[in-house]
Each structure stands twice: as C-alpha cells, then as structure tokens.
Structure 1
Amino acid sequence: MNARFCSLGRLLPDLFYFTILFILLWCWKPAVGQSAATVPIIGQKVPDVDLGQVLRFKDGKAKLSDFQGKLLILDFWATWCKPCVMMIPRMDSLEKQFEGKVQFLPVSYQTAEQIAVFRQKLARRNGMRIQGPEVVGDTLLKLLFPHSGVPHYVWIDQEGVLRAVTGLEEITAAKIQQVLSSLSAFLPEKKDEPRLSYDPHTTPLFEFIGQQKLPAFGEVNYHALLTGYIPGMQSRTSFLKPRVKGQNWRLTYCNENLRSMYGYAYGRARRFFSDNSISIEVRDSSQFFHMGKTAREWMPQHSYCYELVVPAQLADSGFAMVQKDLRRLFPQYEARVEKRKMKVLALVRTSASDKIKSRSEQRKVSYDGFSYQAQRTTMENFLVGLNGIYMNSSPMPIADHTGYQGEIDLALDVKFSDLEDVNRGLSRYDLRLIETVDSVEILVIKDRVRMDTSAEN
C-alpha cells in the first residue's frame, strides 16, 4: 500500500518543486542580511547603506560611500531639540574651517515638509540657509546607529570606518583636528541609556515601576513615592487635575532636579519659577547647579523621581502636601515665596484697542522655537509660557502689567531670545515688553537654620 508514495512518477514533480523552494530560500537569506545591517562598533567598517531621502543631493538619493574621502559626521537631530538647533551655526562654521575635509550630514526622522518649514524660519530669523545635503524621514540610520536622545553624532572617517560616537561636547575644532591627524585618536563614547517607554499621562509612576519588575504597590487612591535617578527615563514634569468623577489629583516628577521640583511645587501650576525668579541662598549649591559638570555627569547624582497621588476631595491641598514632602525629604533646605523689588520685563498694552480678544472656538497652543500660536488661552497662561519655556533664559522675570482678564488669541513668529524681535511680534496686538522695576514674587531657597542644643548639655 505504501508503494504509491514511492512511485517515481509521483516523486519527480515533488523533487522539482522542493528544489525550486530550496533555491529561493537560499537566495532569500543574503537579501535579509542586506536589509538588516549589523550595528557596527568603533573601528569597524560601516556598511555602505542607502540613506533614503536626501535633500539637495543629486537625484535625492545617496549612499554612505558618496561621502568617502572626508570625515563624515552624522548629526542626528530634531527641530524641537533646542541643543540641536543651537549646534547648527557651530557645525556650519566648522565645515567651512575644514573645507573639503569634513562633512556634517544632518539626519532626522521628521518629514521633508516639517524640515522645510523649520529651515525657512531659520533663514528668516538667523539668516542661515542650509546648502548641504541632509537626510529626512530616516528609518535606517537610526537602526544602524541606535540612540535614545539627540543630538547624537556618529564620526565616520575617510575610509568609511566608524571612529567615534559622541555628544555635542566633542564637536569642536580641536577634536576634529585630532581625528583627522591620528588613526588612534580617542573620543569619549556617548552611550545612551535604553529609553523606557513611559507616558505619565496614562500610567502612574508606581504602576510603571511595578511593570518593570520593581516592587509593586497594589491599587491605591493615595501614594507618595520618591526614588533617585532612573536611567533611561526622560526628564519631565506632569500634572493631572481631576476633571471627571473618580479621577485622582496627580503630580509626577521624572528625573527632575531640585530647582524644578521646588519651582513647580511652589508655583502651584499657576506660574513657573524659572531661574530668573529663584534665589538659591545656600552654602553648597552643587545640589542645584551643574558646577562645571556636563548635564550627563551631574543628573544621575542630583535628579529625582517623585509622585504624589491624592483623591479628588484632597485636590485643593495637593500642592501644599508636595511642599510638605519636600520639607520632609530634604530637611536641610527651606523654601518660601517672597516679594522683592527687582528689574523685570513688564508686558504692557500700548493702546486701549482690544486686538487680543479671542474669536476662536477651540482651545489650542503650539510652540516650535520660532513661533507661538495660541487660541482661547489666558494672559496668565501666556506669561507662564514666557517665563517657563519661551523666554526662560531672560535675566529678568516677565510680569503682567496688562490687567487683561479675558481669553486671548496670539500668533507670534519671532526669535524669543531677541527682545527687539519679540516686541516686533507683540506690536501687532498693541503689546510691548518694557524694562522696569517692580515688586514681584520670587522663590527663595535657603539652608535650614537648626537650633544647636548640644551647648545646653
């Protein structure tokens, strides 16, 4: 009965199809290897991969070998990354200084349209027009050179060998000359911590920690949690106010320093105490400032994760409870809000004409470093943004002298680090920032004075 399975007439067609399948599988294996290039290590030749969409280069396509003969530095960046944007003039200057020897190649996951809009703003604001090639919509290079934070720089020498992976500190003329001059040049390697995928808007911190095989805390309606620095966690502050029945009040700090923690807790989400409105009056300020160290060196020893969750009925006491926790957890310091006379930038109206009254139906706020768009916001929220984000490098705090109470619409296309340019944008709305002296609230942090009872004994 089994003879029918051994019949040559039946077996030959099966052998034919099996042979074809074997050949296809044998050919397929190297194709897979080509599309998933192995991550190179320093000292190895970099695979000559296609770079995807390349702006301002031949027919819009390129391979790494097209840049051979120069020191190629891949610049992984994003338009929202302030350090990345600040590095653009430096890289342009270095490329001119080492003309013909060095090529910076910007690489972004963002689309060509997003990059084009940003480049237009950059040209208008700073007069900088990028002439060289850049990779947009990247999906391959970020896998070949994995990283969890930008800016991120990959150095490939004239022969296509990976020479260094660095942060922005190493992008200097001296370091470039060092690599150009010596095959054995050593640069400190930037090793990113694996980025943890955590969204504080959807997952409480204690629950996330439990998912990471750390101690679980069970289901609670109230908890306070403090940890040290968590590698890979993005530095951020998240505040959730109960808006529906059953929702808790929650404040979360992720890898934040004490300046930020005190500043937000005492600002109570109504304002932000930025560096120009915080007075640190302590003997040892290394807990609050970098003191000559890079952020990467300083943060692991001086950053914390903290969370407070309370039920809705205690929401009005939430920030007071955070302040008490800070006093308990850091008893060596005391903080309070004081009024002091100082120089400020006062936002004033220059006419009685109401050019800021909101006519929008939906509430919306967006900011990208060169523009600010707001619909149905308040003057208070606008000032919080100016002090905390857009103009947080101003040496003077910004005070509201408009007296305006209603909702407003604003659209500013300005360079926020340039006061004259900010005033140009504000003039559309008959608003202006003027320097004056005013009595304003600042946050003062001091060493706590302790009574020494040993002398009495």
Structure 2
Amino acid sequence: MEDTLLKSYFPHTGIPHQIWIRNGLFFGASAALEYTNTYNLHRALNGEAFVLSNSSPPVSFNRDIPLFLDGNGGSLKDTRIRSLLSKRINVNIGGITRSASNIRAYNVPFRSLIYEMYRLDIPYAGRFNRIVWEISDSLKEELIGTHKQKTGIYENDLAYYQWLKEHSYCYELAIDSSLNISRKALYQLMEQDINCYFKLEKGIIAVLGKKKLPCYAIINRDGSPSVTGFSDKEENLKAENYFVMENQPIEQLTNYIIAVLAQQPYPIIDRTTAKQKVSIRLNKANLTIPAIKQELNKIGLDLLLQEQEIPVIIVKYANL
C-alpha cells in the first residue's frame, strides 16, 4: 500500500507504531515495543483484557506547534528547565521577581535585564552609572532612550511610552526546585540567554569587567570619624526631612550616600579604612555632592573625585 492507506486510517508521527486489531475491530495502538510480548499476545488471542502502556492516559500533542503551548503535550509544571524571552506584553505591569529557582522580568528595558543578570556582582545603585557603553551612540540611545525620560505629563511623555513599548522585554527562567541550583548558577544561565538574544538581535553582548573611571570616593581624612551624638536642641531635627544616624557603622552611611547619589554620572565608592561608628545628619532637601561633602568633613570623612578601577558592566559589540 506504500504506507498511504494505513497511514490515513491510523495517523502517527513516529515509528515503530503498532496497531492492534481483534475480530476486525481496532482496540489499541502502541509505539513501545516492550508491550509486544508473549503475555500480551496470549491474552489478546484468548480475548482477555490487557493494557498497552502502564503510563497515564496520553495527552493532546501536535508536533507542529511549540511544546506545552496551550497544553500541547502537558503543562509548564511538567518542565524541568525552561527559559523564554519576548518583547513587551500588552498588560499594565512591569518589574522583576525572583525566587530560589526562578527569575521573571515583565516589560523591562535592556538596561534592567543586563543589570539583573549581574546583580550579584554590581551594587544595586550601579545599575545607573556602572554600565560602560562601547557601542555607537545611536544604538545606545535606541536601547536606553536617553532623551525620552518620563516627565509625568502624559502629552509630553508620548514619545517615552512609544519607546518603552518598542524596547521592553519579558524574560522567564525557571528551574525545577529538585535540581538545587545555586543563585550564581541561576544568573549564569540568565547571562547566557540574554547575551544570546541580543547578540542575534543587535550584535551586542554584556560582560563583567574592570575599568579605571572617575568616581566619587568616600575617604577618611586626618583623625578618626566622630561618634558624638546630637544635643537635646537638635532632637527636633530628627524629622522626616532629615537622614539621621547616631553611632552607626560607616558602611550604613556609605550605602545611603551611594543610593541617594545613584544617578550621578560618576559611581560612588567606599574607600574608608577606619570602620568606627559615626553620627551624622543629612538634609534630604539638599542631597548634593557639596552638601554631603560638607557634612562628611565634620566627622572626619571626605568625598573626592578621583580615578579608581572598579567592577563594571561593559556593553560591546559581540565580534570585538
């Protein structure tokens, strides 16, 4: 029959494919050779019941559409490892969620994706000023929309929303919890995925590296940092308009300064050597470099612009 007539009656996608017929009636099919055995053959010839598989009932499956799409072959809960990346989805949501075995990003731009994949290596505030762009200005503008920042006035922000619509992405990486993947390994898989996609789409990749860059360094001046507390007269200054620390580790202060100055053009780095505790009060209405420097000077610290080699994310062309 040249495999035409039988295939029309018994559609199948792979071989071997066995059809069991008894007394002119079809009663089963199997692709597994192990069910063609003496036990089953004797029961079939004697009209006795038997099964062709010890597995669960077969699920709907079409090899011409993606696996697990709309239940094709099962559901996503059956996967062991999966990752996917898409352009923006048409829902009013954005951001990134994480757990021990998955990372999910919803409608975020390129810069958020590459920062996320290196978040174990680059401080959170570094997502603004620890990315070094070694690509053309036009491609950088396309990726981060430098001149399309949101103002809060809808009519003025139409260009920004259009850019965001065209340059936002969704990404999911999910690993079965039984595989006990480490956080570092999880982010390494994300790095491979993101770089693979943007290498294909834009011809670029993002890598970790070190660069000597101008930085605002928090340093020790002559003498030890002050640990003097505030007087009773100053108690009323501990309001929501002030950031106040009393007798706290320097690390807490430097982390705050790094956060509030995150969008400065230069990274903020901690180069203090004495790890004593400090007391300071910063006016939240004037969190500028000169104002912070003035308060730091009072407690034996300083904020100086100097070149330092620091860890950065480098965005470059993939062929370089």
Per the normalisation by structure 1, the TM-score is 0.40
Distance 2:319 2:116 in 1: 24
Aligned to 1:339: 210
Deviation at 1:348?
1.1
Aligned to 1:264: 116
Deviation at 1:414?
3.0
Percent identical among aligned pairs is 17
Deviation at 1:352?
5.0
Map 1:148-167 onto structure 2 (within 5 A).
Answer: none
CA displacement, residues 185-227 of structure 1 (integer Å, 9 cap, x when unaligned): xxxxxxxxxxxxxxxxxxxxxxxxx9xxxx9623666443323
8 Å contact 2:225–2:278 — kept in the other structure?
Answer: no
The correspondence for 1:398, drawn from 260, 268, 277, is 268
Which amino acid is the alignment partner of residue 263 of structure 2? Answer: S
Distance 2:102 2:245 in 1: 26
Distance 2:246 2:286 in 1: 19
Change over 3 Å in CA distance of 1:292–1:315 after alignment to 2: closer
Aligned to 2:165: 300
The correspondence for 2:95, drawn from 236, 240, 245, is 236
Deviation at 1:419?
0.8
8 Å contact 2:224–2:274 — kept in the other structure?
Answer: no
CA displacement, residues 78-133 of structure 1 (integer Å, 9 cap, x when unaligned): xxxxxxxxxxxxxxxxxxxxxxxxxxxxxxxxxxxxxxxxxxxxxxxxxxxxxxxx
Aligned to 2:63: none
Aligned to 2:237: none
CA displacement, residues 306-362 of structure 1 (integer Å, 9 cap, x when unaligned): 233344443231222221111122122122223222221001123553557xxxxxx
Whether 1:314 aligns to 2:185 is no
8 Å contact 1:230–1:305 — kept in the other structure?
Answer: yes
Aligned to 2:221: 350
* Long gaps (5+) in structure 2: 1-69, 149-158, 228-239
The correspondence for 1:326, drawn from 182, 190, 194, is 194
Higher relative contact order (CA 8 A, sep 6+): 2
Deviation at 1:232?
4.2
Higher alpha-carbon Rg:
2
Deviation at 1:302?
0.5
Which amino acid is the alignment partner of residue 315 of structure 1? Answer: R
Aligned to 1:448: 318
Distance 1:377 1:221 in 2: 46
Change over 3 Å in CA distance of 1:353–1:377 after alignment to 2: closer
The correspondence for 1:279, drawn from 126, 132, 140, is 132
Change over 3 Å in CA distance of 1:386–1:323 after alignment to 2: farther
8 Å contact 1:223–1:308 — kept in the other structure?
Answer: yes
Change over 3 Å in CA distance of 1:398–1:448 after alignment to 2: same
The correspondence for 1:224, drawn from 67, 83, 89, is 83
Which amino acid is the alignment partner of residue 76 of structure 2? Answer: F
SS at match of 1:330: helix
Aligned to 1:144: none
SS at match of 2:115: helix
Distance 1:421 1:348 in 2: 16
SS at match of 1:218: helix
Distance 1:279 1:325 in 2: 20
RMSD over aligned Cα atoms: 3.9
SS at match of 1:440: strand
Map 1:6-405 onto structure 2 (within 5 A).
Answer: 217-218=76-77, 222-240=81-99, 248-268=100-120, 270-272=122-124, 273-283=126-136, 284-290=139-145, 292-293=147-148, 294-310=159-175, 311=177, 312-331=180-199, 332-350=203-221, 352-353=223-224, 355=226, 371-372=242-243, 386-387=257-258, 389-403=259-273
Change over 3 Å in CA distance of 1:391–1:339 after alignment to 2: same
8 Å contact 1:414–1:425 — kept in the other structure?
Answer: no
Change over 3 Å in CA distance of 1:281–1:399 after alignment to 2: same
